[in-house]
Structure 1
Amino acid sequence: MCACLSVEYYRPFFDINTDEVVARIRYALVFCGTGSPFLDVVREKPDAYGPWWISTTLVFLIAVTSHLKTLMQFSGQHYRYDFKVVTFAAMTVYTYLGFAALAIWLALNYWLKTPLTILQCACVVGYSLSVYVPASILCVFSIISWPALLAAWVLSSLFAVKSILPIIEHHEKQMVAIFAGGLVSINCGLMLIIKLELYS
């Protein structure tokens, strides 16, 4: 009953090596080619390591690049570092990871009757965030922040939809379209919060 209080309980979630994580990130960044669906890659060995570190890296980069952008605009005059950006970025990214994974899991298991573990859903959401990492670096430059984040939103959404599509394509097209639309909308919300609240 209290197994979740031991380290051994969480060990399988982090039983993955660097090469496997890098391969999954590469798969998330270049997903348009032929090959096995992403869920086939992570089905036997879902991990929490990749999603956690991708999210943490994204929080760090958003905090740094948003301040660099502001520093460049003010040319260093009367500029103070705002630590609220770090906490807001962390709250936004980690909440998105947890909420989106939970929403996908609930929709798949209870609406579309397609069994998938919450860790597998977290893998899809977590690895889909990897495209936001290079986009956040580009957001230092105001002129390309909108295009960079819009491209990240589109690519992240396409990866997430393409990852889940093989297990739900046998359902009615309307149900699949609603599911995909919901997934894209949640991702759009993340992109807008990042842009309007952290890079405004």
Structure 2
Amino acid sequence: MASPHDLTFQEFEEAADLLSSDPGASTLSISSPGAAASSADVRVDLSEDEDSRQESSELLGGEKQTGGFWTFEYYQSFFNVDTMQVLDRIKGSVIPLPGRNFVKHHIRNNPDLYGPFWICVTLVFSVAISGDLYTFLIRMGDPGYHYRPQFNRVSIAAVTVFLYAWLVPLGVWGFLTWRQSVERHISGYTFLETVCVYGYSLFIYIPASILWMIPVYWLEWLLIVVAMVISGSVLVMTFWPAIRDDTKLTAFATMAVIVSLHALLAVGFKVRETLQRTIPSQIHLKRNHTQL
């Protein structure tokens, strides 16, 4: 049976004699082996946790690992959407709901140029073709009328739509960026998000321009007003949260400019189409009057 003295730590004289004879000898302390091991384990665990937190933050933040602007992957990220996402964004631009920010509820850190590009292309051809078909329908029974497609309408509509879809978002994005540098509490959007919002907001003008072929004057302007209200609501509910913390004068003036430019685009289309439809008819009437 072991005595109490056998269970206590004892100092060995041989180890003391070795140290006194060779002070430079390397020694290994095993007094607390668990302490060193636990400290090493803590260091490893912390590094692994830090890596996992960094990876999770990148996923939650929606950061995209893309190359430089000279690589194909850089531009591929601008078109990284599927059909369901495009349809959801089109639906959000046609049916704007109060309190639903288009960027936060539909874009979700993944803006694209695919939808806005094809919306602008379709709008160009719908505006140009509807104008030609309208002229053809109202003068179809005129024996002196010979249909000639007016391709200049396509070029004019393309320049107008694409300049609006790029220059106006560029101006809005630049202004919001400047206000962020002046007022730190003001939020903003990236240039790609701004272009995406403006591109999808133009979708409602496609069915409206197709219905312009109906030769009813009051219906044409009713369609214009409805399209302006719907598309303008998307812009207001998107950009108002970004500038509402600014001064009241700046906030309301900015929204007035955004809505006015958007309304000017639709009214400009309608006025131009009206002039193109009226002038040929007046010329034709003058020729008939001269012949008589």
Do they fold alike, i.e. is TM over 0.5?
A: yes
How many residues matched? Answer: 198
In the alignment, is the contact (CA less than 8 A) between 1:52 and 1:126 conserved in 2? yes
Is 2:137 the partner of 1:137?
no
Deviation, structure 1 residue 130: 1.0
Shift of 1:124: 1.1
- Matching of residues 17-56 of structure 1 within 5 Å: 17-33=82-98, 36-40=100-104, 41-56=106-121
TM-score (norm 2): 0.64
Q: How does 1:54-73 map to 2 (within 5 A)?
A: 54-73=119-138
- Contact 1:55–1:94 under 8 Å retained in 2: yes
Task: Compute the displacement of 1:155 (Å).
Answer: 1.6
Q: Is the 8 A contact 1:54 1:126 kept in 2?
A: yes
Question: Is the 1:43–1:120 Cα contact (8 Å) retained in structure 2?
Answer: no
Partner of 1:95: 163
- 8 Å CA contact retained: 1:39, 1:164: no
The offset of 1:191, in angstroms, is: 1.1
- The TM-score, its normalising length taken from structure 1, stands at 0.91
- Does 2:253 align with 1:178? yes
Amino acid in structure 1 at the alignment position of 2:233 = L
- How much does 1:172 deviate? 2.3
1:154 to 222, 229, 233: 229
Structure 2: which 5+ residue stretches go unaligned? 1-67, 182-186, 276-292
Which entry has the higher C-alpha Rg, 1 or 2? 2
SS at match of 1:127: helix
Q: CA RMSD in A?
A: 1.8
Q: CA deviation at 1:112?
A: 5.0
**3-state SS of 1:4 partner:** coil
Taking only the aligned residue pairs, the percentage that are identical comes to 33
Where do 1:186-197 residues align within 5 Å? 186-197=261-272
